[in-house]
Structures are given as structure tokens and as C-alpha cells.
Structure 1
Amino acid sequence: MGLQISISDSIVQALRLPEQRIEQELRRELAIALYTQDILAFGKARELAEMDKYEFGQLLARRGVVRHYSFEELNDDLTYARGE
């Protein structure tokens, strides 16, 4: 199941972006907003933004968003680093 959001033509036309970048930029902005408000976890937010971990982390850093890093994420990263 997916979700579609309808945005009026007047708003789309008012965006100061090339047409081919609108969806990508809106996905990223939504991902940042939901992550910042702790509505969406890092992994799902980066998935929404269609970015890998590094890229999304860099985007958050450029925006001055502090990364929420739980013990669970630390354990996942350590398990991955150990090759388990």
C-alpha cells in the first residue's frame, strides 16, 4: 500500500525548482521534517529520501539536525562492523 499526496498546481508552479527535481526535493524535505520531529526513524527517513545512510547523514548535518542515535542502532552498527 502506498500513499499519494495531492499538491495543487499553483503550489507546484510556485516551487523554485526544476520540474524534474520537485518530487526528489519534496521527499527529502518530508524525510528531514519527520525525522527531526522523531516521527520517523533514521533508516525509514533515509528510505523516504531515497538516500543511503552516508548521504542522508550528510544532509542532516548540513541542515544542523542532530542525529538521534539509540542503543539499538549502535548495536546494529557494531554487529554490522563485526560482519555478523
Structure 2
Amino acid sequence: MGLVISDEFLQTAHITETDLKLEIAILLFQQEKITLGTASHFVGMNQLEFQRLLGSRKIPIHYGVEDLQQDLKTLEANDWR
């Protein structure tokens, strides 16, 4: 599924496409809808960079066994070797 967001919307919101993707990833991560790995992949950052960003915003990192298992499945599905 693709989502198209108009340039007009981005201009009205005073946000870039990259920053909007970042905000979406952070929000979904905070709501525990996606894992740290999924969020960082979505925005094109490595996990350490994304963790630092979360830390700069004082957002706690919740990462448990289920998150690790999901990240491993994501890696295997994308053949990231």
C-alpha cells in the first residue's frame, strides 16, 4: 500500500517528507505498534542512530524478547546479510 501526501500538505504543516516519516516512526514506536528495528528501517537510520534520537527526546526504549524476535524475522525476510 502506498500513501501519497501532497506537497501542499507538507508546506502547510511546515514539515519535510523526511521529518514526517521520522515523526510517524517515533509515534508508532512509542505506541508499541512497531519495533525499534522496524522504525529505524522505515526512516533509513541504523538502530543506534534511532536510539540516540529517541534519547534526545527523552523517549524510553522498550525492547524485549518479542521485539528481538520480530526484528530477526524482518531481517530474514529482507535477506539483510
Tell me if both proteins adopt one fold, taking TM over 0.5 as the criterion: yes
2:25 pairs with 1:27: no
- Residue 15 (structure 1) aligns with: 13
CA RMSD between the two structures:
2.0
- Structure 1 runs (4+) deviating above 2 angstroms are 6-10
- Residue 41 (structure 2) aligns with: 47
Q: Normalising by the residue count of structure 2, what TM-score does the alignment of the two structures yield?
A: 0.70
> Whole-Å Cα distance in 2 between the matches of residues 10 and 65 of structure 1?
30
Deviation at residue 9 of structure 1 after TM alignment: 4.1
Q: Normalising by the residue count of structure 1, what TM-score does the alignment of the two structures yield?
A: 0.67
> Whole-Å Cα distance in 2 between the matches of residues 29 and 53 of structure 1?
16
Higher radius of gyration, 1 or 2: 1
What one-letter code is carried by the residue in structure 2 that aligns with 1:32? Answer: I
Between the two proteins, the alignment pairs up a number of residues equal to 68
Equivalent pair of 2:10/2:17 in contact (CA under 8 Å): no
Per-residue Cα deviation, 1:3-26 (whole angstroms, up to 9, x for no partner)? 321224432221324xxxx22111
Structure 1 unmatched ranges of 5 or more: 74-84
Q: Percent identity?
A: 33
- Residue 77 (structure 2) aligns with: none
